[in-house]
Structure 1
Amino acid sequence: MKNMNRREFLGTAGAFAGIMALAGCGSTGGNTASTTTAASSAAASGDMQLLTAGKLTVGTSPDFPPFENLENDEYVGLDMDLAKALADKLGLELELKNLQFDAIVPAVAAGGQVDLGISGITIEPEREEQVDFSDPYYIDDLAVVAMKDNADVTADTYADALNQAGVVIAVQSGTTGESYAQENFPNATTQPYGNATDSFAALQSGQANAVVTNKAVGAKMVADAYTDAQVIKEIATGEEYGIAVNKDNGGLLSAVNDALAELTSDGTVDELTNKYFG
């Protein structure tokens, strides 16, 4: 994956980001009442393909707060609320499937497992070779996180301090954070983990010198769970998050984009932004 700009937030005031083995699944009811929106009309037309009639099956990796997380076995976060709102607009029931992050795009591309991937997925060329993406719904940057008591890694010194042999940088596997660390700290060891929590746990336990992750995730993690760590540097990458759709499912892509446009114009996107980012 290459570091790149991904998409422009849909006109809102702020920045709303083993393939066959499913880690688990959950479901939540959508609004199945008929509506007259463009999105629901597209859904009713039958042009879009769904794994299960009347159901929108979404793959996500719920360990990326504030976008997706599991709390008391409930899927929560901005992306999860967006998925529910999309299902409602399309007049479909929502089913969520728990996948490791780096398995989501391949699962969408392969078909037969999920209809969409919604999990803070950056739109970038390598992924676009495998799947189509919706219009962007959020823009994020990257961040470098280190322990508060690590005086060697600061906003002024991190570029050199982390680019050293023997330094370990923890990242979530398959993310733009991993790509950035590999490209910008080539002398260090970039250590991928299956989820964001494990990468932060490695930092806290001394197995890593820093974490490179998305800015919003880094801020959430150090505020809520890893208070002995701190964001030492925000890196302006302008990453755009989109919804992954199978390349052979143009009808679903069109319906999703219609729904996103409607959710923007009716204020839902702004409400979700304010809910999670104030």
Structure 2
Amino acid sequence: MNRVLARVSLMLLALWLPTSVLAADDDADEAVLDQLDQARERGVLEVAVYRDFPPYSYPQQGKYVGADVDLAAALARKIGLPLKVRPIMPGDDADDDLRNNIWKGHYLGGGVADVMLHVGMDPQYVARQDKADLFSPYFREAVSIAYRPGRYKNLTTPMALVGTKVGVELGSISDYYMSGAYGGRLRTSAVRLPTTQAAVQALADDEIDSVMAPRGELQGLMKMIGGLSIETRTTEFQGLFRTAWDVGIAIKAGNPKLKAAIQIALQELQTSGELKSIYAAYGVDYVAPEMASTAAASH
């Protein structure tokens, strides 16, 4: 049943139902607590972050750390609740991630988180969400190239990569680009590795000439292996494919109190400079998002 028919059916049902039934249903709606109130009752704010995703969220000495974990802790502190981190595995697509972790839960159980970070904020994708509320973009990511100086004379076009070894994470946007751009002429230059971290390590070990990956990941990973003293530069290719995007926050739709609390907390972190400092601690240059902070449609 499509949404128009569903709305018509509900309207006809409302005309038929006795007043007492409708009143009881209204009471049930009022009894549903905003997610913020539920979090306060539990005594924690549970925030979903991606598993094994340095420098944003990754395990270290038995606990999760990273820029997104620190951001989650700062938001929870501003809201006045302890943080509970929920590391999540990415699904087949972003819709799976939102369904499994924000508005419905996985079919195997485990419930949902109150908040999810590092959600892609493509405007069209945000606008079509009806069960999740995507809002407050807080960082802008861009695909970049990290390479050793001297390996490329003039890296102003991707064609300069031909004949060199370019590390990419298997199945990533960089992998797809190297496989299909320019009629496939870059395909033989791609060195596919299981993770971006493995690609950066290969660059550090002088096994490849460069790495194509999101800028923040590259910067953070280069800091993590900084003891190897590799010198790198980054170059973004503009206008060739979608190289940049904002990341933001998701909660279950219909929770205005939680949304407002997060928006206020994030604004304070941005204004004070704490958000920028969080990224700097992991070697990432903070880049402000391009979308307005109220990008998500009202639900």
Whether 2:117 is the aligned partner of 1:118: answer yes
Aligned-pair Cα RMSD in Å = 4.1
Picking from 20, 39, 60, the partner of 1:71 is: 60
Mark the CA change 1:47 to 1:179 in structure 2 (over 3 Å): closer, same or farther. Answer: farther
TM-score between both structures, scaled by the size of structure 2: 0.58
Structure 2 unpaired stretches of 5+? 1-31, 106-111, 286-299
Mark the CA change 1:230 to 1:265 in structure 2 (over 3 Å): closer, same or farther. Answer: closer
Name the counterpart of 1:219: 219
Mark the CA change 1:275 to 1:157 in structure 2 (over 3 Å): closer, same or farther. Answer: closer
Picking from 21, 31, 34, the partner of 1:47 is: 34
- Aligned-partner SS, 1:156: coil
Name the counterpart of 1:159: 158
Whether 2:235 is the aligned partner of 1:233: answer yes
Q: How many pairs align?
A: 229
Name the counterpart of 1:135: 136
Q: Is the 8 A contact 1:170 1:203 kept in 2?
A: no
Name the counterpart of 2:20: none
Q: Is the 8 A contact 2:35 2:114 kept in 1?
A: no
Deviation at 1:170, TM superposition (A): 1.0
Structure 1 unpaired stretches of 5+? 1-44
Which has more radius of gyration? 2
- Aligned-partner SS, 1:217: helix
- Aligned-partner SS, 2:236: strand
Name the counterpart of 1:93: 82
Compare the two structures and name the one with the higher helix fraction.
Answer: 2
Whether 2:242 is the aligned partner of 1:243: answer no
Whether 2:263 is the aligned partner of 1:257: answer yes
- Aligned-partner SS, 2:71: helix
Q: Is the 8 A contact 1:219 1:231 kept in 2?
A: no
Aligned-residue identity in percent? 22
- Aligned-partner SS, 1:134: strand
CA distance in 2, matches of 1:124, 1:258: 22
Q: Is the 8 A contact 2:200 2:218 kept in 1?
A: no
TM-score between both structures, scaled by the size of structure 1: 0.61
Q: Is the 8 A contact 2:91 2:97 kept in 1?
A: no
Mark the CA change 1:96 to 1:126 in structure 2 (over 3 Å): closer, same or farther. Answer: farther
CA distance in 2, matches of 1:258, 1:239: 23
